[in-house]
Amino acid sequence: MTASKVVIVAGGTSGIGRDMTLGLAEAGHRVVAFGITAGAVADTVAEAQDRGLSVDALGGDVSDAKEVAAVVNFTTAKHGRIDALVNNAAIGPLGTVLDTDEELFDKIVAINLKGTFLTSRAVLPHLIEAGGGSIVNIGSGSGWGKPNMAAYSASKGGVFALSAAMAYDFFHHRVRVNTVVPGGGGIVSGISLDRVGGDASKLGKGAPGSVAGRPVNGIDMANTVAFLVSDAAEAISGTVIDVGCFSHQGGPVTRKKDS
Protein backbone atom coordinates (compact mmCIF):
# COMPACT_ATOMS: atom_id res chain seq x y z
CA MET A 1 0.00 0.00 0.00
CA THR A 2 1.29 3.47 -0.91
CA ALA A 3 2.37 5.52 2.11
CA SER A 4 0.21 8.60 2.54
CA LYS A 5 1.95 11.86 1.63
CA VAL A 6 1.10 15.47 2.37
CA VAL A 7 1.03 17.20 -1.02
CA ILE A 8 0.55 20.83 -2.01
CA VAL A 9 -0.86 21.38 -5.51
CA ALA A 10 -0.43 24.90 -6.90
CA GLY A 11 -3.09 25.60 -9.49
CA GLY A 12 -4.94 22.58 -8.15
CA THR A 13 -8.52 23.84 -8.10
CA SER A 14 -9.53 23.79 -11.77
CA GLY A 15 -9.01 21.83 -14.99
CA ILE A 16 -6.27 19.20 -14.96
CA GLY A 17 -5.08 20.71 -11.70
CA ARG A 18 -8.30 19.68 -9.97
CA ASP A 19 -8.04 16.24 -11.57
CA MET A 20 -4.55 15.89 -10.15
CA THR A 21 -5.70 17.09 -6.73
CA LEU A 22 -8.55 14.59 -6.59
CA GLY A 23 -6.45 11.83 -8.15
CA LEU A 24 -3.73 12.26 -5.52
CA ALA A 25 -6.36 12.19 -2.78
CA GLU A 26 -7.89 9.04 -4.27
CA ALA A 27 -4.43 7.47 -4.10
CA GLY A 28 -4.53 8.05 -0.35
CA HIS A 29 -2.60 11.30 -0.06
CA ARG A 30 -3.60 14.36 1.98
CA VAL A 31 -3.77 17.27 -0.45
CA VAL A 32 -3.78 21.03 -0.01
CA ALA A 33 -4.67 22.70 -3.31
CA PHE A 34 -4.77 26.40 -4.04
CA GLY A 35 -5.83 28.68 -6.87
CA ILE A 36 -6.95 32.22 -7.55
CA THR A 37 -10.59 31.66 -8.58
CA ALA A 38 -12.98 31.58 -5.61
CA GLY A 39 -15.63 29.58 -7.45
CA ALA A 40 -13.14 26.90 -8.48
CA VAL A 41 -11.85 26.65 -4.92
CA ALA A 42 -15.37 26.14 -3.58
CA ASP A 43 -16.19 23.57 -6.28
CA THR A 44 -13.03 21.62 -5.45
CA VAL A 45 -13.94 21.50 -1.77
CA ALA A 46 -17.48 20.37 -2.58
CA GLU A 47 -16.38 17.62 -4.98
CA ALA A 48 -13.77 16.32 -2.54
CA GLN A 49 -16.34 16.22 0.27
CA ASP A 50 -18.84 14.39 -1.95
CA ARG A 51 -16.18 11.75 -2.68
CA GLY A 52 -14.95 11.51 0.90
CA LEU A 53 -11.43 12.64 -0.01
CA SER A 54 -8.83 14.37 2.15
CA VAL A 55 -8.52 17.70 0.34
CA ASP A 56 -8.26 21.29 1.50
CA ALA A 57 -8.66 23.98 -1.16
CA LEU A 58 -7.51 27.53 -0.52
CA GLY A 59 -7.42 30.81 -2.36
CA GLY A 60 -3.93 31.96 -3.25
CA ASP A 61 -1.87 33.66 -5.94
CA VAL A 62 1.18 31.62 -6.90
CA SER A 63 3.05 34.77 -7.96
CA ASP A 64 2.70 36.36 -4.50
CA ALA A 65 5.30 35.13 -1.98
CA LYS A 66 3.14 36.07 1.02
CA GLU A 67 0.16 34.12 -0.29
CA VAL A 68 2.36 31.13 -1.07
CA ALA A 69 3.75 31.30 2.49
CA ALA A 70 0.21 31.31 3.86
CA VAL A 71 -0.57 28.06 2.03
CA VAL A 72 2.63 26.46 3.32
CA ASN A 73 1.90 27.62 6.88
CA PHE A 74 -1.65 26.25 6.68
CA THR A 75 -0.32 22.89 5.49
CA THR A 76 2.29 22.50 8.20
CA ALA A 77 -0.12 23.67 10.89
CA LYS A 78 -2.74 21.11 9.86
CA HIS A 79 -0.59 18.16 8.82
CA GLY A 80 2.72 18.76 10.58
CA ARG A 81 4.82 18.26 7.45
CA ILE A 82 5.03 18.57 3.65
CA ASP A 83 6.17 15.63 1.53
CA ALA A 84 5.59 16.86 -2.00
CA LEU A 85 4.76 19.85 -4.18
CA VAL A 86 3.06 19.90 -7.58
CA ASN A 87 3.48 23.10 -9.59
CA ASN A 88 0.61 23.30 -12.06
CA ALA A 89 -0.45 26.97 -11.91
CA ALA A 90 -0.11 28.61 -15.33
CA ILE A 91 -1.69 30.91 -17.86
CA GLY A 92 -1.13 30.65 -21.59
CA PRO A 93 -2.19 33.62 -23.72
CA LEU A 94 -1.13 33.30 -27.34
CA GLY A 95 1.00 35.78 -29.27
CA THR A 96 4.29 36.49 -30.97
CA VAL A 97 6.96 38.82 -29.61
CA LEU A 98 5.47 41.64 -31.69
CA ASP A 99 1.89 41.35 -30.42
CA THR A 100 2.62 40.50 -26.76
CA ASP A 101 2.84 43.67 -24.68
CA GLU A 102 5.27 44.02 -21.80
CA GLU A 103 2.62 43.82 -19.09
CA LEU A 104 1.26 40.52 -20.43
CA PHE A 105 4.77 39.07 -20.83
CA ASP A 106 5.54 39.94 -17.21
CA LYS A 107 2.27 38.38 -16.00
CA ILE A 108 2.88 35.10 -17.87
CA VAL A 109 6.42 34.80 -16.51
CA ALA A 110 5.30 35.80 -12.99
CA ILE A 111 2.74 33.01 -12.79
CA ASN A 112 4.33 30.24 -14.87
CA LEU A 113 7.99 30.60 -13.91
CA LYS A 114 8.31 32.88 -10.89
CA GLY A 115 5.39 31.03 -9.29
CA THR A 116 7.28 27.74 -9.60
CA PHE A 117 10.32 29.42 -8.04
CA LEU A 118 8.32 30.90 -5.15
CA THR A 119 6.47 27.70 -4.24
CA SER A 120 9.62 25.60 -4.51
CA ARG A 121 11.59 28.06 -2.38
CA ALA A 122 8.86 27.98 0.29
CA VAL A 123 8.50 24.18 0.36
CA LEU A 124 12.12 23.03 -0.05
CA PRO A 125 13.22 23.72 3.56
CA HIS A 126 10.42 21.43 4.76
CA LEU A 127 11.41 18.66 2.35
CA ILE A 128 15.07 18.96 3.33
CA GLU A 129 14.25 18.90 7.05
CA ALA A 130 12.14 15.77 6.51
CA GLY A 131 15.04 14.00 4.80
CA GLY A 132 13.68 14.18 1.28
CA GLY A 133 10.59 14.60 -0.85
CA SER A 134 9.28 15.28 -4.32
CA ILE A 135 8.63 18.30 -6.52
CA VAL A 136 6.70 17.76 -9.75
CA ASN A 137 6.54 20.65 -12.20
CA ILE A 138 3.98 20.59 -15.01
CA GLY A 139 5.70 21.55 -18.22
CA SER A 140 4.65 21.97 -21.84
CA GLY A 141 6.00 20.97 -25.22
CA SER A 142 5.93 24.68 -26.00
CA GLY A 143 8.91 24.97 -23.68
CA TRP A 144 10.97 23.82 -26.66
CA GLY A 145 9.41 26.59 -28.77
CA LYS A 146 6.10 26.66 -30.65
CA PRO A 147 4.54 29.21 -33.01
CA ASN A 148 2.40 32.04 -31.64
CA MET A 149 3.38 31.17 -28.06
CA ALA A 150 6.39 33.42 -27.49
CA ALA A 151 5.91 34.38 -23.84
CA TYR A 152 4.32 31.07 -22.86
CA SER A 153 7.14 29.14 -24.53
CA ALA A 154 9.74 31.28 -22.77
CA SER A 155 8.12 30.66 -19.38
CA LYS A 156 7.81 26.91 -19.89
CA GLY A 157 11.34 26.65 -21.24
CA GLY A 158 12.39 28.28 -17.99
CA VAL A 159 10.47 25.62 -16.04
CA PHE A 160 12.49 22.87 -17.75
CA ALA A 161 15.75 24.61 -16.87
CA LEU A 162 14.70 25.47 -13.32
CA SER A 163 13.59 21.89 -12.71
CA ALA A 164 16.92 20.49 -13.87
CA ALA A 165 18.85 23.00 -11.76
CA MET A 166 16.85 22.12 -8.65
CA ALA A 167 17.32 18.40 -9.30
CA TYR A 168 21.09 18.95 -9.25
CA ASP A 169 21.10 21.36 -6.32
CA PHE A 170 19.07 19.19 -3.95
CA PHE A 171 20.15 15.73 -5.11
CA HIS A 172 22.08 15.04 -1.90
CA HIS A 173 19.13 16.20 0.19
CA ARG A 174 17.10 13.38 -1.39
CA VAL A 175 14.70 15.89 -2.93
CA ARG A 176 13.74 14.68 -6.37
CA VAL A 177 12.52 17.15 -8.99
CA ASN A 178 10.79 16.03 -12.18
CA THR A 179 8.74 17.60 -14.97
CA VAL A 180 5.56 16.13 -16.45
CA VAL A 181 4.33 17.25 -19.87
CA PRO A 182 0.80 16.65 -21.20
CA GLY A 183 1.46 15.65 -24.80
CA GLY A 184 -0.24 14.89 -28.07
CA GLY A 185 -2.58 17.85 -28.27
CA GLY A 186 -6.30 18.03 -27.58
CA ILE A 187 -6.09 17.97 -23.78
CA VAL A 188 -8.92 19.89 -22.11
CA SER A 189 -7.40 22.27 -19.57
CA GLY A 190 -8.04 25.76 -18.30
CA ILE A 191 -5.38 27.14 -20.62
CA SER A 192 -6.67 25.32 -23.71
CA LEU A 193 -10.27 26.31 -22.98
CA ASP A 194 -9.28 29.96 -22.63
CA ARG A 195 -7.72 29.79 -26.08
CA VAL A 196 -10.98 28.59 -27.69
CA GLY A 197 -13.38 30.79 -25.76
CA GLY A 198 -14.39 27.99 -23.40
CA ASP A 199 -15.73 25.73 -26.18
CA ALA A 200 -14.38 22.24 -25.42
CA SER A 201 -15.79 20.90 -28.71
CA LYS A 202 -13.05 22.81 -30.53
CA LEU A 203 -10.33 20.82 -28.78
CA GLY A 204 -8.90 17.49 -29.85
CA LYS A 205 -9.96 17.55 -33.49
CA GLY A 206 -7.09 16.37 -35.68
CA ALA A 207 -4.70 16.06 -32.74
CA PRO A 208 -2.44 12.98 -32.64
CA GLY A 209 -3.65 12.42 -29.08
CA SER A 210 -2.16 9.43 -27.29
CA VAL A 211 -1.47 5.78 -28.00
CA ALA A 212 -4.73 5.08 -26.13
CA GLY A 213 -6.53 6.46 -29.19
CA ARG A 214 -7.72 9.62 -27.44
CA PRO A 215 -6.30 12.87 -26.10
CA VAL A 216 -4.59 12.83 -22.73
CA ASN A 217 -6.83 13.82 -19.81
CA GLY A 218 -6.41 14.94 -16.23
CA ILE A 219 -6.63 11.39 -14.91
CA ASP A 220 -3.63 10.38 -17.03
CA MET A 221 -1.73 13.30 -15.53
CA ALA A 222 -2.92 12.47 -12.00
CA ASN A 223 -1.73 8.86 -12.30
CA THR A 224 1.72 9.97 -13.42
CA VAL A 225 2.07 12.60 -10.71
CA ALA A 226 0.83 10.14 -8.06
CA PHE A 227 3.64 7.79 -9.06
CA LEU A 228 6.28 10.51 -8.93
CA VAL A 229 5.32 11.65 -5.42
CA SER A 230 5.21 8.06 -4.16
CA ASP A 231 8.02 6.04 -2.62
CA ALA A 232 8.03 3.90 -5.77
CA ALA A 233 9.75 6.81 -7.56
CA GLU A 234 12.34 7.55 -4.88
CA ALA A 235 15.24 7.03 -7.31
CA ILE A 236 13.87 9.20 -10.14
CA SER A 237 14.94 12.84 -10.44
CA GLY A 238 15.88 15.33 -13.12
CA THR A 239 13.74 13.71 -15.77
CA VAL A 240 10.95 14.82 -18.09
CA ILE A 241 7.99 12.50 -18.59
CA ASP A 242 5.83 13.20 -21.63
CA VAL A 243 2.37 11.82 -20.97
CA GLY A 244 0.78 11.00 -24.30
CA CYS A 245 2.96 11.60 -27.30
CA PHE A 246 6.69 10.99 -27.30
CA SER A 247 9.53 13.19 -26.15
CA HIS A 248 8.99 16.91 -26.78
CA GLN A 249 5.33 16.26 -27.68
CA GLY A 250 4.71 14.79 -31.02
CA GLY A 251 7.81 13.42 -32.73
CA PRO A 252 6.90 12.19 -36.22
CA VAL A 253 3.29 11.30 -35.35
CA THR A 254 0.98 12.94 -37.88
CA ARG A 255 -2.60 14.04 -37.61
CA LYS A 256 -5.10 11.25 -38.11
CA LYS A 257 -6.73 11.41 -41.52
CA ASP A 258 -10.50 11.67 -41.67
CA SER A 259 -12.06 8.42 -42.86
Q: Where are the beta strands (DSSP E) in 36-139?
A: 55-59, 84-87, 133-138
> Domains in the chain: how many in total?
1
Examine residue 256 and state whether it is found in any structural domain, yes or no. Answer: no
Examine residue 251 and state whether it is found in any structural domain, yes or no. Answer: no
235/21 Cα distance (integer angstroms): 23
Note the pLDDT tens digit of each residue in 80-116. Answer: 999 999 999 999 899 999 999 999 999 999 999 999 9
pLDDT(193) > 50: no
Owning domain of residue 135: 6-243
The CATH number assigned to the domain holding 38 equals 3.40.50.720
Q: How confident is the model at residue 205 (pLDDT cuts 50, 70, 90)?
A: low
Examine residue 184 and state whether it is found in any structural domain, yes or no. Answer: yes
Examine residue 248 and state whether it is found in any structural domain, yes or no. Answer: no
- Catalogue the active-site residues: 152
Examine residue 22 and state whether it is found in any structural domain, yes or no. Answer: yes
The predicted structure's pLDDT at residue 191:
62
Examine residue 111 and state whether it is found in any structural domain, yes or no. Answer: yes
Note the pLDDT tens digit of each residue in 13-33. Answer: 999 999 999 999 999 999 999
Instruction: Please give the distance of CA 168 from its chain centroid, rounded to a whole number.
Output: 20
Examine residue 139 and state whether it is found in any structural domain, yes or no. Answer: yes
Question: Which string of b and e fits 85-105 if b means at least 16 CB within 10 Å?
Answer: bbbbbbbbeebeeeebeeeeb
Instruction: Choose between 234 and 247: higher pLDDT.
Output: 234
Q: Which of 1, 29, 237 is nearest to 9 (CA)?
A: 29
Note the pLDDT tens digit of each residue in 33-92. Answer: 999 999 999 999 999 999 999 999 999 999 999 999 999 999 999 999 999 999 999 998
User: Which pTM does this prediction carry?
Assistant: 0.92
The predicted structure's pLDDT at residue 202:
53
153-162, 179-188, 230-239, 245-254, range with the lowest pLDDT: 245-254
Examine residue 250 and state whether it is found in any structural domain, yes or no. Answer: no
Q: What is the mean pLDDT of residues 139-151?
A: 93
Angle between helices 38-50 and 15-26 (to 10 degrees): 30
